[in-house]
Chain A
Amino acid sequence: MVETRRPLSHSLLILAALGALHAPVLQAQPDRTAPPRPGPPPELRLPPIQHYGFSNGTKVVLLERHSVPVVQINLLVRAGTSMDPAGKGGLASITAAMLTEGAGPRGALEFADAVDYLGAQVAASARLYTTTVALHTPLSKLDSGLVLLADLVRRPAFLPGELARVRNEHLTAILQMRDDPDILASLVFKRTLYGEHPYGAPSIGSAASLATVTVDDLRIFHAAYFVPANTTIIVVGDITAAEIMPKLEKAFGTWSGNAVSPPPVPPVPQKREKTLVLVDKPGAAQSVIRIGRIGAARLTDDYYAIVVMNALLGGTFTSRLNMNLREAHGYSYGASSQFDFLPLPGPFVAAASVQTEVTDKALTEFVNELRGILEPVPDGDLERVKNYLALGFTGGFQSVAQIASQLEELAIYGLPDDYFNGYIGRILAVTKPDVERVARRYINTDDLAFIVVGDRKEIGERVTALNLAPATFLTIDEVLGPAPEGGK
């Protein structure tokens, strides 16, 4: 590296390095005329991803990480909320919740006590296509933890009394959604984009659908989807294949059951009309804004270009949305955007909470930025976000839980083992024309959905005067149904 402008300070820097061993140090005046240039970037040094399996069809993926004596096991099961039967919305979610409410020889309290006593954590939750049952445990407690994990997945009790209690918890959670403007906005946003399509439904279900869920529904759902051929066991932590495989074989090798084909998920809705929905939240100090449209599927060839384009628009602190709404105008604590990549095109959303008085102005700035990203992008901005995504990628592989969820994505989408190693190169290969092309394709401003949750009395007139789209006004009751009065 030649820096002819600063020969003096450079040689003194070397002196300072030597001086560290021979204090006191002859100190150089630091050169602050330009930010220091980084050296060559470090490489992602991931150990190999190992693949194993059992004759019953269960796949095993192992990544060794020997720094801290902990182990993460994520059982990824192809059982998700998109498989909820008609009228039984919330079944996959409540089935996941019920897995930890008693299993094998243990009732709900005994089971929880056993997990807690180990200092381990067990959690089960359902997404659209999959349920993840996760065990995080100190290495020293792995054997006991595995026994509990196998019981939970293979032998859940599904007791009627526990179901009644958990159902009431979920019903109360639905009631509490009324309090939270962020949850209301997301709910209305998804419903507006996807309608009755599974991508538009809240994973928790509704009060009406939960009322119909029985223990038999749970058993049928579990028997159909929680089977070996639907399952990938992802192991990350301070353990080798020779150590973990016999333990997994013992826990899951004799597991049996035949998978039922899940109902096909219909195509996502096609072109939509522009629409604006204002949900009245009287007295709200801010308006919660969600703007977007149906975006892209995970396996699109445009994936990397979209990631880069979104980083420019609203994916980083210095992104245009945040710089505009937060730094330039002071309308918000933060504005952002993201693409939710799913097997079918998931939502693209731009979001912020803004001060009530400036709701209309903030909406205008959102639209300006969504139009602005369709214009050619300055080279410096493009390089910055590409470097941010590429060079920062290694930081996402620290905790065993973090690595396990990265490996889940590989399993769900059938991505190759060298996917992580290729990521940086693919981001850096995105060109200016790529960004312009995906911006025009995915940030079409002709069919945006605008959702605002705020105080209609304060913002209604000024927001509709913007003529962004034909407006619909909803009350919280119209979004969630009337709140139940009293009683359990």
Chain B
Amino acid sequence: MRRLLILTALACSLGVAGEPRISVSYSRFTLPNGLDVILHEDHTVPVVAVNLSYRVGSADEKPGKTGFAHLFEHIMFMGSRDVPVGKFDQWLEAAGGDNNANTTEDRTDYYEDVPSNALALPLFLESDRMGFLLDSMTEAKVNAQRDVVRNERRETIENAPYGLAPILIDENLYPPDHPYHWPTIGSMADLSAASYNDVVQFFRTYYVPGNASLVIAGDIDPVKARAAVEYWFSDVKSGAPVPPQPVPVAHLTAEKRVVQEDRVELPRLYMVWNTPAEFAPGDAELDLLASVLAGGKTSRLYRRLVYDLQIAQDVSAAQVSARLGSEFWIVVTARSGHTLSEIAGIVQEELDRVKKDPPSRRELERAVNQYEASFLDRLENIGTTANLLNTYVRLTGNPDYFNEDLSRYKAIDPSDIQAIAETWLPDESRVVLSVVPNGKKELAAAKEPR
């Protein structure tokens, strides 16, 4: 495909119906080895964002080897055939570039922001590790990053207040054979078990061009950028297709109550449900429901718990979307002297209310307006735009899904919010986690909050 001539930057123009339309222009082509490439031209700042997304995450791990996808992400920075250890970062920094990577259940993203004169460098580095990582892999490299990742887990989980809560929630929300049952960071024991052979197998299975998509966005000449991609990735061999994996059903048939003691001053309540996958019907409705419940001071839970009753310090709600299924979270931190039973009782009243009657039109419009504005904000940073293009490609097949994404929210009616709450937030299939200060189990949410 050669749609290289009519690339413009972000277009935010008025369509026929007078509705603002958010659209991001792009060109797309596939290399003979299977790598999917998307180019987006935007000359606002002389920066290019490179975003390479592999469709592999912790959901592809097996029990006993949890945390491996993320450990592997770290190992990807330890050099490849033509990039000695340490040079990946040194060369990028010498060119004025920044880089990082992150891993979720579903995918692993690697990205570089470089001044536009240096685009060839990240393409060289990414193609070298995509093609030739194993040529210089050693046991010692694996061990070095294992220690780093153990400290990452200590810093973000063990030594962080309430840090273990998300892990406990997923353990209870998904059956043991579901790939979201275990945390992306992995268990300390499994991290110790990861071996050099695991690295080889994992790389050969998942780090193949056909299992990735590459977005280059920013201050580029698309003809030259395409030539550079074709040049640098031409000697990366295609691999075997990654077989699709069966997905077990995640559905709780009874409410699960869990109590965890932690080194914290205040008790915190978590209520979490299994909900529809990212971009599936219901996903956007649940985003708006989260906003109606806890977005801003006038949201229902904030207003009652924090503003009126002043029995909570903070409240939040979110539809946490993912490919195989999402989670709807409500989190409330109690003030001193208040129990989570008291908090849970109020949360339940508000859940019952939103299941019984639709929210007001203004409540809904307020939430939609905030989503609409957030679409503009996401386009202000070229790295964020590159990430979004890749997310849309991965989940919908269409890089410029911006307008379709926003249209989901605009099409929602107040009665849809009521229906979605009733369908997806039943009392009898949720996890209710109480994190309480050490030795204060009596502050947990009791079985019958009402």
Chain A residues proximal to chain B, CB less than 8 Å: 13, 16-17, 19-21, 23, 25, 27-30, 32-33, 35-36, 38-45, 65, 67-70, 108-109, 112-113, 115-120, 136-138, 141, 165, 168-169, 172-173, 175-176, 178-181, 281-286, 288, 316-318, 323, 326-327, 330-333, 353-355, 383-385, 387-388, 390-395, 397-400, 483-484, 486-488
Contacts and interface: CB of A to CB of B under 8 A. Distances in A.
Contacts of A44: 46
B313 A391 contact: no
Nearest to A171: B336
A35 B224 contact: no
B266 A385 contact: no
B317 to A, nearest CB: 15
A400 B366 CA distance: 23
A169 B313 contact: yes
B230 A36 contact: no
Contacts of A394: 45-47, 115
Nearest to A281: B263
A108 B306 CA distance: 13
A488 B310 CA distance: 9
Given A117-B365, A318-B86, A20 B46 contact: no
A100 to B, nearest CB: 9
Given A20-B2, A67-B380, 7 more contacts: A21-B223, A65-B44, A137-B373, A323-B86, A330-B147, A387-B96, A488-B336
Interface string B95-131: 1111000000000000001011110110011011000
A40 B42 CA distance: 19
A237 to B, nearest CB: 10
Contact of B337 (A17, A317, A486): A486
Given A175-B265, A283-B263, A33 B82 contact: yes
A398 B297 contact: no
A391 B118 CA distance: 10
B373 A138 contact: yes
B382 interface: yes
7 contacts: A17-B224, A35-B91, A38-B117, A67-B44, A108-B307, A180-B161, A394-B115
A388 B362 CA distance: 49
Contact of B127 (A30, A168, A355): A30
A13 B231 contact: yes
Contacts of B250: none
Contacts of A112: 296-298
Given A165-B307, A179-B161, A486-B336, A400 B81 contact: no
B407 interface: no
A173 B161 CA distance: 13
Contacts, number: 254
A94 B219 CA distance: 43
A136 B91 CA distance: 37
Contacts of A21: 2, 223
A65 B44 CA distance: 9
B96 A390 contact: yes
Contact of A117 (B152, B160, B224, B366): B366
A445 to B, nearest CB: 26
A391 B365 contact: no
B303 interface: yes
Contacts of A486: 336-337
Given A392-B97, A394-B46, A68 B12 contact: yes
Interface in B1-19: 2, 4, 9-10, 12
Given A35-B121, A318-B89, A487-B336, A355 B12 contact: no
B25 to A, nearest CB: 13
B263 A179 contact: yes
B10 A67 contact: yes
B322 interface: no
Given A33-B82, A119-B369, A172 B231 contact: no
Nearest to B372: A119
B198 interface: no
A388 B114 CA distance: 10
Contact of B148 (A43, A68, A327): A327
B230 A16 contact: yes
Contact of B380 (A285, A355, A398): A398
Contacts of B121: 35-36, 38
Q: How many of chain B's residues touch chain A, expressed as a range?
A: 35 or more
A245 to B, nearest CB: 23
B227 interface: yes
A35 B224 CA distance: 18
A119 B370 CA distance: 4
B226 A353 contact: no
Contacts of B337: 486-488
A387 B265 contact: no
Nearest to B161: A179
B47 A395 contact: yes
B49 to A, nearest CB: 9
Contact of B298 (A109, A333, A391, A399): A109
B158 interface: yes
A387 B91 CA distance: 10
A88 to B, nearest CB: 23
A116 B154 contact: no
Given A17-B223, A68-B12, A286-B158, A38 B377 contact: no
Interface in B130-154: 144, 146-148, 150-152, 154
B428 interface: no
Contact of A286 (B81, B91, B159): B159
Nearest to A183: B161
Contacts of B156: 333
Contacts of B67: none
Interface centre among B83, B146, B310 (most CB of A within 10 A): B310
Nearest to A453: B159
A20 B230 contact: yes
B379 interface: yes
B70 interface: no
B227 A17 contact: yes
Contacts of B254: none
A284 to B, nearest CB: 6
B90 interface: yes
A68 B117 contact: no
A286 B151 contact: yes
**Shortest Cβ-Cβ A-B pairs, 9 listed:** A391-B96, A330-B147, A119-B373, A42-B46, A285-B158, A112-B297, A36-B120, A179-B161, A32-B82
Given A69-B12, A117-B369, A138-B373, A41 B117 contact: yes
A398 B382 contact: yes
A57 B150 CA distance: 56
Given A67-B10, A391-B96, A353 B159 contact: yes
B96 A392 contact: yes
Given A284-B159, A394-B115, A45 B46 contact: yes
B298 A42 contact: no
Contacts of B118: 38, 391
B234 interface: yes
A32 B115 contact: no
B226 A69 contact: no
Interface centre among A116, A141, A323 (most CB of B within 10 A): A116
Given A20-B230, A384-B94, A488-B337, A286 B161 contact: no
Contact of A172 (B45, B127, B266, B298): B266
Contacts of B147: 330-331
